[in-house]
Structure 1
Amino acid sequence: MGGSKYNTPAKYTSKLEDFIEEFELCDIWRTQNVDSRLYTWRQRTPLIQCRLDFWLISNFLSSSVTKTSIVPSIKTDHSLIKLTLSGENFSKRGPGFWKFNSGLLTDKNYVDIVKNTLSECNNKYHNLENKNLKWDTIKSEIRGATVKYSKYKNMKLRERESNLKKRQDEIQKTLSCTYLDKDINNLLVELDTVKEDLEQIVNNQTRGLLYDHTPSTVKAMKEIQNISYH
């Protein structure tokens, strides 16, 4: 189905309208964005744009939706329809639990940091006779360096992800007021590039989660995580 009943076969739009009426539903995005011109699916050659995707909710629940928006999505050629719901304020979370990111094990910069830390520890604690204390001290130093580097890397990653999402939103907004096919296609090409970069970030995060469950990684993570600061 297209984004307008005027360019979609009547038998399809009428079925949808009957369904909405029978179950007392509303197309919440259109209800809140009456004059907006946005689409959830596009084809570049030839240029075709349609609003194929809907959030149909009960009229009763529609009052709980404070905002709806159409945003680009990765791993699919369809856009997302994002809903913001009103509700009780959740209590603030505590400081949380630091978890070692196993993806660091394949990060050359991190590997170099660990090597340098080991070298420094060897110089600082070479006279320490108690081997258990020496080993725990070395692990504590590695943990401290790991936390510091993790925070820095996560900050840079969040910054890059935020900039990509910001540019993605800018392109989406520009598309809504662009009418020439050539200009639309140029924007769609750039949008695909931004989506690919965001997808790469997600893929890296996914690989890290999968890598977390290999036996050797679990052992290494436990060694680093179970160290207490003194």
Structure 2
Amino acid sequence: MNTSMSKLDRCGKTQHTEDKSYKTINQLCENFNIYDIWRARNPTSRIFSWRRVVQNNLIQSRLDFIFIPKSFSVFVKNVYYKHNAFSDYSFVNLNIDFSEIERGPGLWIFNNKLLDDEEFVNKINRLIETEKQCPLYDEEPLVWYDNLKYKIKQLAKVIAQDKSVPKNRNILKIQREFEKISLAVTNNEIVDLNKFEEVKLKLKCHEEKTFVKAQFCVLKPIGQ
């Protein structure tokens, strides 16, 4: 829908107008008791979902909506935009969970790449040698083995998370740069559009690396 719902949804030469489309959408929201969950949770935000450089000006708007029944609000865990380089439109991430039963921990899959980490292998070897001193090693080997697996799992999760933090921080930093430029334009500040293109290039490089890694991810069938 090429319609904005408030002045907050447009930035640039285009202006918000309360035209027929606007009134129709509002009427539908009222009739079906639905609302835009993102705008409800971000009532004053100037984050946009579409942007394009036109005649050396960054034009931005938010013309997509995440309408849900108001009664579903309690089930929405989070909703946010994620910017990308291959489209003028940003992704919308909506996480909603209707389950009332608390879930278990789920299935844990060991990250085989950790076996290439010398530090991790050394820690596991030391852990095994330490655990061998436990009386259960001789008295109850199956119980001892279950305890060892649990400790290896905990150690592996901690080390894997520590290694993933720098990557996550990097993409979050790029996303913030993107939004910072967007907000500056919204506030009528002078912005170097070369910087905007530079940030888009960073996003593109990150996306290409992620895509290449995804292509080489092969799930090995159980039992092989």
Distance 1:94 1:69, change over 3 A: closer
Distance 1:186 1:41, change over 3 A: same
Unaligned residue ranges in structure 2 (runs of 5+):
8-14, 117-159
Q: Which amino acid aligns with 1:166?
A: L
Q: Which residue is 1:44 aligned to? A: 53
1:170 to 2:170 alignment: no
Following superposition, the deviation at residue 3 of structure 1 comes to 4.2
Q: Which amino acid aligns with 2:105?
A: K
Q: Which residue is 2:34 aligned to? A: 25
| 2-structure distance, mates of 1:184, 1:65 | 37
Unaligned residue ranges in structure 1 (runs of 5+):
101-109, 111-153, 214-220
1:96 to 2:99 alignment: no
Q: Which residue is 2:215 aligned to? A: 207
Maintained 8 Å contact 2:3/2:21: no
TM-score by length of 1: 0.56
Following superposition, the deviation at residue 2 of structure 1 comes to 5.1
1:79 to 2:90 alignment: yes
Q: How does 1:1-230 map to 2 (within 5 A)?
A: 1=2, 3-5=4-6, 7-8=15-16, 10-45=19-54, 46-73=57-84, 75-85=86-96, 88-96=101-109, 158-159=164-165, 161-175=167-181, 177-178=183-184, 179-180=187-188, 182-183=190-191, 185-209=193-217, 212=218, 226=224
| 2-structure distance, mates of 1:59, 1:18 | 15
Following superposition, the deviation at residue 22 of structure 1 comes to 2.6
Maintained 8 Å contact 1:2/1:50: no
TM-score by length of 2: 0.58
Following superposition, the deviation at residue 199 of structure 1 comes to 1.2
**What is the SS of the residue equivalent to 2:44?**
coil
| 1-structure distance, mates of 2:102, 2:174 | 29
Q: Which amino acid aligns with 2:70?
A: N
How many pairs are equivalent?
164
**What is the SS of the residue equivalent to 2:94?**
strand
Higher RCO, 1 or 2 (CA under 8 Å, sep at least 6)?
A: 1
- Provide the aligned C-alpha RMSD in A: 3.5
| 2-structure distance, mates of 1:184, 1:25 | 40
Q: Which amino acid aligns with 2:174?
A: Q
Identity of aligned residues (%): 18
How big is each residue's C-alpha offset from its partner over 1:162-192, in whole Å with a ceiling of 9 and x where there is no partner? 1332213322442464124642735532331
| 1-structure distance, mates of 2:53, 2:216 | 34
Distance 1:155 1:63, change over 3 A: closer
